[in-house]
């Protein structure tokens, strides 16, 4: 089904394919334009303050309600998928597009023994590393942020069978359609048996690409 829509500049496209052709080009020029498209995305975030308000686009006030909603959802999933988690089961999560470690610090590190952070913007990751240092946050004993990967989603390949949960929130829209599919195929290899993805994204209320 074809759905027309507008980009953030108000330009109209007949469908998503037409929009992508303009953004990343046809096959012959695609790699160069795609590289530039990703570079511009990183460049934008490099100019954003490493704070809750910064990573949430000026809507830092949604942080608390976001964490509460995610926690209720996560508790339901963990009780269903890992009922023996409190009996010395070692759980590991990957926080994709982690930014300054907002979700790790306020949620994931309280439920997982280890959390790895994946973020392509270096000053965000530096802020996360500082914020999640043991002396700067309260977390249960034996719960820690372990690895800080400064790598974009489209280039990341996880360690095989490391993660119980791969948490992907408010970042997957930065990928082209083909890289979206490729990312999940690679990331699936990083899941333990019984592991799963959590994908949390906003849904547009109007026809905007």
**Where residue 136 sits, what CATH number does that domain have?**
3.40.50.150
Q: What is the pLDDT along the chain (209 residues), one digit of tens a residue?
A: 678 888 878 899 999 889 888 888 876 677 888 999 999 999 999 999 999 999 999 999 999 999 999 999 999 999 999 887 666 789 999 999 999 999 999 999 999 999 999 999 999 999 999 999 988 777 777 899 999 999 999 999 999 999 999 999 999 999 999 999 999 999 999 999 999 999 999 876 665 54
Residue 207 lies in a domain: no
The H or E element spanning position 18 is helix 16-24
138, 132 in Cβ contact below 8 A? no
Residue 31 lies in a domain: yes
> For the chain, what is the domain count?
1
Domain assignment of residue 194, given as a range: 5-200
Closest by CA to 124, choosing from 49, 63, 58, is 49
> What pLDDT, in 10s, does the model give residues 62-92?
999 999 999 999 999 999 998 876 667 899 9
> What pLDDT, in 10s, does the model give residues 102-127?
999 999 999 999 999 999 999 999 99
Q: Which residues are known binding-site members? A: 97, 102, 153-154, 169
pTM comes to 0.92
What is the DSSP secondary-structure string of 45-104?
HHTS-SSHHHHTTT-GGGHHHHHHHHHHHHHHHHHHH-TTTTTT---EEEEET-TTTHHI
Q: Which residues are known binding-site members for S-adenosyl-L-methionine? A: 97, 102, 153-154, 169
Using CA atoms, how far apart are residues 95 and 67, in angstroms rounded to an integer?
14
């Amino acid at each position: 089904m074809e759905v027309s829509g507008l980009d953030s500049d108000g330009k109209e496209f007949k469908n998503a394919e037409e929009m992508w052709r303009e953004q990343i080009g046809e096959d012959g020029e695609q790699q160069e334009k795609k590289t530039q498209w990703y570079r511009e995305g990183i460049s934008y975030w490099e100019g954003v303050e490493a704070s809750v308000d910064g990573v949430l686009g000026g809507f830092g006030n949604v942080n608390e309600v976001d964490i509460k909603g995610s926690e209720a959802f996560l508790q339901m999933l963990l009780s269903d998928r890992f009922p023996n988690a409190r009996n010395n089961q070692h759980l590991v999560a990957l926080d994709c597009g982690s930014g300054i470690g907002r979700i790790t610090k306020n949620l994931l590190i309280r439920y997982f023994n280890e959390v790895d952070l994946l973020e392509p913007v270096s000053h965000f990751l530096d802020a996360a590393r500082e914020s999640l240092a043991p002396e700067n946050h309260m977390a249960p004993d034996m719960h820690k942020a372990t690895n800080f990967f400064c790598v974009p989603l489209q280039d990341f390949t996880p360690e095989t069978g490391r993660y119980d949960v791969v948490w992907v929130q408010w970042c997957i829209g930065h990928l082209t359609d083909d890289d979206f599919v490729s990312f999940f195929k690679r990331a699936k290899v990083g899941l333990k048996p019984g592991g799963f993805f959590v994908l949390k994204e906003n849904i547009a209320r109007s026809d905007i690409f």
